[in-house]
Amino acid sequence: MPSKKSSVLLIYTGGTIGMMQDAHSGELKPFDFKSLTNQIPELKKFDLELSSISFQKPIDSSNMHPAVWVELVKMIENNYQKYDGFVILHGSDTMSFTASALSFMLENLNKPVVLTGSQLPIGIIRTDGKENLITAIEIAAAKEKGKPIVTEVCIYFEYKLYRGNRTFKYNSSHFDAFKSPNYPALAEAGVNISYNRNALLKPSKKNLKVHVALENDIAVLKLFPGISKKITSAIINSSGVKAIVLETFGAGNATTQEWFTNELKKAIDKKIIILNITQCSEGKVIQGMYETSSHLKKLGVIGGSDMTFESAITKLMFLLGQQLSHSQIKKLLTTNLRGELSN
């Protein structure tokens, strides 16, 4: 008996990839995704069922918002039983934030959700969009013994598949726009697609559980030599702040000046969660390695290990929205929930 064709749902949110150049004006305009196979005839060669839906009003990824993430996970939830995989076309600027958020919002995911985009529109001759889209669809449809090979939220860009919550955009002008410095690529596309089996998340045996409650009362305090008490205090004491992402030096180090320690203590005494992540692109926070981080550990600042900034922000949004106790949130921040940090 012939095996059932794989089915993939393509979701277009906006971004460079979905643009075509108007023949008369030269302006870049979103193209009609119902005619996708006319724009990319290579898709007709796939032996799969491909459907597409588009946001009624495509958005620039700089305008990305938690409300859009909720809309995306509901689209996936409503179509979860109909399709074997999902490809989300998204602007590259905030793609890592969206991928990170979706990884937390889609608990027990056992199908691929692949985000991709491009640096040049599909309508441009030298576009990177066609290859990114074609291979993302192939990955979303890939099965082995009837089961999906990939069962997590990923980003595919420039021949590499990454765990979404491990990435950040590091280049605005080259095709290889994303990096995952603290976790290996999940797959590389060459003549064949080579999967790094040991790096892939194991599929869940539980049913998909979708979370839509997110809390964004989060502040960011990025340290620099000479940071003032006035500015630090203004950020920490902003009305309604429930959590602070503290971007520190090196392996989680910060100034030991008394005023700074006192400001952090005031925040922690008010039950504000402070999560320490490094400003370095690679490596992790190890509180207590140096004297300049020991005081943070003693205060109750939470070490964020090797989480990216994007993952730290969205994980806090997710946990703050779950109506958990203060101690539960602190514990879960240091727990590897979706492959976002190294133990």
**Torsion angles phi and psi, residue 185, rounded to 5:** -60, 145
Angle at 275 between CA 244 and CA 203, to 5 degrees: 120
Task: Give SS3 for 303.
Answer: strand
Task: Give SS3 for 61.
Answer: helix
Task: Give SS3 for 246.
Answer: strand
Question: Per DSSP, which regions of 279-339 are E strands?
Answer: 302-303
Q: Residue 111 in contact with residue 84, Cβ under 8 Å?
A: yes
What's the rounded Cα separation, in Å, for the pair 13 and 99?
A: 13
Tokens of 140: 């979303």
Residues 6+ apart with CB under 8 A from 219: 235, 236, 238, 241, 243, 244, 245
Give 210's strand partners: 106
What's the rounded Cα separation, in Å, for the pair 106 and 203?
A: 13
Q: Residue 76 in contact with residue 98, Cβ under 8 Å?
A: no
What long-range pairs does 128-132 form, CB within 8 A, spacing at least 24? Answer: 128/158, 128/175, 129/16, 129/17, 130/40, 130/42, 131/159, 132/17, 132/156, 132/157, 132/158
Identified catalytic residue from 16, 127, 151, 248: 16
Q: Quick one: which H or E segment has residue 10?
A: strand 6-12
- Whether 98 is catalytic: no
Q: Residue 289 in contact with residue 305, Cβ under 8 Å?
A: no
Angle at 173 between CA 169 and CA 174, to 5 degrees: 80
Catalytic residue positions, numbered: 16
